[in-house]
Amino acid sequence: MTSTIMTGDVALPPVRMRARHYARCLQGIVWREWLRFLGQRGRFLSALVRPLVWLGIFAAGFRLTLGIPIMPPYDTYIPYEVYVAPGLAAMIQLFNGMQSSLSMVYDREVGSMRVLLTSPLPRWYLLTSKLLAGVAVSVLQVYAFLAIALLWEVEPPWWGYISVLPALVLAGMMLGALGLLLSSTIRQLENFAGVMNFVIFPMFFASSALYPLWHVKDASLWLWYACEINPFTHAVELIRFALYGRISWVSTSAVLGYLVAFLVLAVWGYDPARGLVGRRGRAE
C-alpha cells in the first residue's frame, strides 16, 4: 500500500507501507494496552469481582428458583452456577470492550490514537489492532475467572479450556467492535458513561446469560424476540458451547455477522471525511 503525506501545501514522496510497518503498529498498540492494564490493578480486580459476586451470591439465591433442564451443550442436569458461568465470562468481555472504547474516546482527542489515526496506515487496520489489544486483555481476565470458578464446581472438560479460546477471541472482537462504534458517536467522556449503562445492562439482562430463553418465552414473547436478536445472547451461547467442545453454528454465524457490521460502521464513523467524527469536527 502506498500513501502520500501532506505537509502544509507540500506533498512528500509517497510512503510504501510494508508488512513490518503493520507488525510494528500492531505490536505497539498491543504493548501499550498491556502496559495500561498492568498499571491499573484495580481494573483487573474489578473485572473479577463483578462476575464472582454474581456467581457467589446471585447464583446461590436463584439455584432453587430457576431450574435448568437437560439442554445442549449439557448432557445431564447441571447446577445453576455451571449455567451462568459462560454468561459471566461474556460479561467480562462486554465490560472490557466498553472500558477499552472509553479509553479510545480519550486517546482519540489527546492520546496516542490521535497520532495513529493521522498515520498512513489504513484506519480499519488501526481500529482492528485496537480491538485485538483489548481482546488479549479480556481473554486473560476470563481465564482467571474460570480458574476461580472451580471453587463453585464449575468444571468443564479440560479440553474445553482450549476449545473456548477461539470463541473468546471472536466474541471479544464483536463486543469490542460494538464499543468502538459507540465511541465514534461520543465526543465527551461524561456522555460515554451514560451510554455504557444504557447499552450494557439491557444487553446483559435481555440475554441467555442468567436464564434459559424458554423461561423468557413463557413470560413474554416480545422479550424473547429481543433476546434472540441480542448480539450478547449469541456471544454467550458461542462461549457456552465452546467450553464443552461443541459449536453452535447459529451463534457463530450471528457473532461473525455482528462483528463485520459493527466494525464496518465503526470504521465509517471514524472516517474524518464521511463519518460521525468528521461531521462533529466540521460542526465545531
Amino acid 192: pLDDT = 65
Q: What torsion, rounded to 10 degrees, do the Cα atoms 55, 77, 251, 127 define?
A: 20
For the whole model, what pTM was predicted?
A: 0.84
Residue 222 counted as domain residue: yes
Residue 277 counted as domain residue: no
What is the chain's pLDDT, residue by residue, as a tens digit (284 residues)? 555 544 444 554 556 667 777 787 777 777 877 777 777 767 778 778 889 888 888 877 776 666 566 778 888 888 888 899 999 999 999 988 888 777 776 666 665 666 666 677 787 888 888 888 889 989 999 999 999 999 988 999 999 999 999 999 999 999 999 988 888 877 666 666 677 778 888 999 999 998 888 888 888 899 999 999 999 999 999 999 999 999 999 999 999 999 999 999 988 887 766 545 544 444 44
Residue 148 counted as domain residue: yes
Residue 266 counted as domain residue: yes
- Total tally of structural domains belonging to the chain: 1
Amino acid 117: pLDDT = 65
Residue 283 counted as domain residue: no
Which DSSP string do the residues of 14-63 spell out, in sequence order?
Answer: PEE--HHHHHHHHHHHHHHHHHHHHT-HHHHHHHHHHHHHIIIIIHHHHT
Amino acid 243: pLDDT = 94
Residue 61 counted as domain residue: yes
Amino acid 190: pLDDT = 64
Amino acid 1: pLDDT = 53
Residue 1 counted as domain residue: no
Listed residue (244, 97, 110) closest to 181, CA to CA? 97
Listed residue (86, 111, 91) closest to 189, CA to CA? 111
Residue 138 counted as domain residue: yes
Q: Which domain holds residue 157?
A: 16-272
Residues 6+ apart with CB under 8 A from 268: 274, 275
